[in-house]
Amino acid sequence: MSTFYFIAFLSIFFSILVISAKNPVHSILYLVLTFFTFTIHYILMNAQFLAVVNFIVYMGAILVLFLYTLMLINLSKESEPRKSNLVKLAAVIGGGCFLVTIVAALKAFKISEPVILHDPNLGLVKNLGKILFNEYLLPFEVSSILLLSAMVGAVLLATKEPKTT
Amino acid sequence: METLTQNIQAIPLNHYILLCSIIFAIGVTGVLIRRNAIVIFMSVELMLNSVNLLLTAFSVYRGDATGQVFVFFIMALAAAEVAVGLAIIVMIYRNTNSIDINVLNRLKW
């Protein structure tokens, strides 16, 4: 039980570091750590399929993509002009107001039953695969079209235009 | 794995909602306080992930695997979104030599 609170603390700590680190590379590395804590959360909930997908897709693919983009973009100069302190204060107050609203709504709900895993097979690959390929077959195929079009769009956007046209 | 799943038995659902709300609020704050387009993108990823975690928690709470299937779709969508978004950022950098989002306010004209 205390594992959850420790990991939750680490998640919040690293995600604060993500938005407050000055160097964008450090920010990405802290994001890797944050996603690793999320993977541990999934394992704690016995959602093994999601844990593996989160580990491979987020920590493997997406963050490597971020790092490569940052390498392509030359940030060697201390480039980022900081926002003024007034804007930062207003932003923090805005985020805090959002959080207060959510927490107040949560107080009104009064739901606090414990999360209990009734069916230990719930998050396993076998169970999720059956659901995915029976009830959600059409959205699955549509998401493959989405990925294909995103790939074509990314290639189209990122290639240099020929100078002659 | 048995001992790990024993750990979760007594966490109230409220604490999951609280954790995910805090991380979502951190993501919102990150979008507001940073001017680097890549860091803003990372804050958006943080928000997506907090919602994923909450969906999984509700899925375990209700004993319904649909929530986890939704998380899978959200991850596929996030991958597509990141690919296109980073391509756009690279293109913006090529045109303006900066990824400061304040440079982009001349898109208005």
Map out the domains of chain B with their CATH numbers.
12-100 (1.10.287.3510)
- The distance of A146 to chain B (nearest Cα, Å) reads 7
- The distance of B44 to chain A (nearest Cα, Å) reads 11
Which phi and psi angles does B36 have, rounded to 5°? -80, 125
Contact B15 A82 (CB under 8 A): no
**Per-residue model confidence as pLDDT tens digits over B10-64:** 788 888 889 999 999 999 999 998 888 888 999 999 999 999 999 999 888 888 8
d(CA A66, CA A62): 6
**Per-residue model confidence as pLDDT tens digits over A144-160:** 999 999 999 988 888 87
Q: What's the burial of B92, exposed, middle or buried (CB within 10 Å: 0-12/13-18/19+)?
A: buried
In chain B, the residue whose alpha carbon lies closest to the alpha carbon of A85 is B33
Q: Which pLDDT does position B21 carry in this prediction?
A: 92
Chain B residue numbers with beta carbons less than 8 Å from the beta carbon of A134 are: none
Q: Which pLDDT does position A45 carry in this prediction?
A: 86
Reference B89, options A64, A68, A84; nearest CA is A68
Q: Which pLDDT does position A71 carry in this prediction?
A: 86
**In sequence order, what DSSP letters do the residues of A97-143 get, joined into one string?**
HHHHHHHHHHHHH----B---S-TTTTSHHHHHHHHHHTTHHHHHHH
**Per-residue model confidence as pLDDT tens digits over B74-109:** 999 998 999 999 998 888 888 887 777 777 777 655
Q: Which fold has domain A2-158?
A: Four Helix Bundle (Hemerythrin (Met), subunit A) (1.20.120)
Which phi and psi angles does B21 have, rounded to 5°? -65, -40
At A93, is the pLDDT very low, low, confident or very high (cuts 50, 70, 90)?
very high
pTM of the model: 0.88
Are B61 and A78 a contacting pair, CB within 8 Å?
A: no
